Structure 1
């Protein structure tokens, strides 16, 4: 493990193995992401035969007529999916192996996101499609505020760095994708209390994976629970935000549309803005 890595790879594998047996009860974010990605896929009028499910969880991705390879960092998830255990920034497949890669719900837990996207582009065939979704900047804003209120003197490192939608698009371009698109969707879930939210995060393998994570003391948890409850709506439930960033990019191919060359326009902006006579 490199000293520059922010996530503990072994801890991530362990958390995923612990979550695997009951993951179906906590899969609502993964299910929502897959639904959004498959809607985007439906808009593409072509067939994809060889597909990589990158960060597959239990392997619930289904695309009629496609051969789907599954990869997950957790042994139990990879075994349940009949796939390969590996990290997303250490993809073991050969270049140009797939014409579609789908990554739903894991890229926000990867040490080297630019590297993962570059490897994803490399395992795609020319004009292959990448569709991704992950939790981005603004996620768990209420929980963050509750812990800041509980640890006002010395806030501990309890939350992962987050990627905003603009940076996500830039990462696609840096990784060599053509026609990159990024957009964001806000999903709000209302909780009766902090224990309910923490139960969901554990169940989806979404708890703190930082290498320098500090132990959570009982008094801190109690204070955070009180601060969380203080943000409740009149009905006693607390809204929590999940910001889902969606990514679309294509492996470069000469057949793809090219941006116009600077200066190639046939009329000037000044001409276009002149009043019509």
Structure 2
């Protein structure tokens, strides 16, 4: 029997964990930013409100706000929080290994699956950790995010662009993936929001504070001083009449169930 090839190592787990630890350190010192984390958690709370479904147990992955676990606990759900990094008050997990502690009625993953090397494998592991009929909700960055910053970085690199911004998942491809992996009742939708920035340096700092900086295994060479100046100039050339630079964050949310047995 042929052995399926291992997925390419696009992302560095070590750099990924370091980014999330830095994110927590900045939050602890009051210099953190949690715009994306808040939006992801609030979106799932809204989705659960529409479902009006009771969950006995839940695994919440990647929610740095803690808001989702608190919401679930207030509704009578036993919720376990986990993260790839050893953050305070959470279990450490590896999304590309079997998830411990299940099976769960609900598994929510926030802002993590866009930086795993094996997205199909991670989704299969989530499905296997669900009870029959259990629900998965996974939200992460999608294609179309940070278009202005991407364009500025490409301009800065010139004729030899380096890997600096993560590859992103297309919403349509994500929907096909859920069906192929055997999820029941698959639903995929894209959504997003705009954020205003005052400068190039602010968006770079905010991304680092939110653990959204480059965690590629091959991150490319450091930008020269001249290249940084070019990127800053190109990004800030998009400044609008109010003096701010508007950037778009796009997300995809995957919803599906572990199929219940039919008798």
| TM-score, structure 1 as length reference | 0.85
Q: How many Å separate the matches in 2 of 1:216 and 1:253?
A: 52
- How far residue 92 of structure 1 moved from its aligned partner, in angstroms, is 3.3
Q: How many Å separate the matches in 1 of 2:204 and 2:120?
A: 29
* Residue 199 (structure 1) aligns with: 205
* Residue 3 (structure 2) aligns with: none
- How far residue 58 of structure 1 moved from its aligned partner, in angstroms, is 5.6
* Residue 6 (structure 1) aligns with: 10
Could you say what secondary structure the match of 1:137 adopts?
coil
Contact 1:100–1:129 under 8 Å retained in 2: yes
Q: 1:136-194, CA deviations, whole angstroms, 9 ceiling, x for partnerless residues?
A: 00001000011112122111110111001111112222222111111111211111111
- How far residue 22 of structure 1 moved from its aligned partner, in angstroms, is 2.8
* Residue 81 (structure 2) aligns with: 70
- How far residue 31 of structure 1 moved from its aligned partner, in angstroms, is 0.9
Q: How many Å separate the matches in 2 of 1:203 and 1:246?
A: 23
Q: How many Å separate the matches in 1 of 2:192 and 2:243?
A: 21
Over the residues paired in the alignment, what is the CA RMSD in angstroms? Answer: 1.9
Specify whether residues 21 and 60 from structure 1 end up closer, same or farther in structure 2 by C-alpha distance, changes over 3 A only: farther
Q: How many Å separate the matches in 2 of 1:40 and 1:170?
A: 21
* Residue 22 (structure 2) aligns with: 18
1:183 maps onto 2:194 in alignment: no
Mind listing any 5+ residue stretches in structure 2 that lack a counterpart?
1-5
Contact 1:20–1:58 under 8 Å retained in 2: no
* Residue 157 (structure 2) aligns with: 151
Larger-Rg structure: 1
Mind listing any 5+ residue stretches in structure 1 that lack a counterpart?
256-277
* Residue 170 (structure 1) aligns with: 176
- Listed as ranges, the matches of 1:131-142 within 5 Å are 131-142=137-148
Q: Which moved more, 1:123-132 or 1:146-155?
A: 146-155
1:129 maps onto 2:135 in alignment: yes
* Residue 251 (structure 1) aligns with: 258
- How far residue 3 of structure 1 moved from its aligned partner, in angstroms, is 7.9
Specify whether residues 234 and 159 from structure 1 end up closer, same or farther in structure 2 by C-alpha distance, changes over 3 A only: same
Contact 1:54–1:88 under 8 Å retained in 2: no
- What is the total number of aligned residue pairs between the two structures? 250
Could you say what secondary structure the match of 1:36 adopts?
helix
Q: 1:183-233, CA deviations, whole angstroms, 9 ceiling, x for partnerless residues?
A: 111211111111110111000111011111112322211110000011111
1:83 maps onto 2:90 in alignment: yes
| TM-score, structure 2 as length reference | 0.89
Q: Which moved more, 1:49-58 or 1:223-232?
A: 49-58
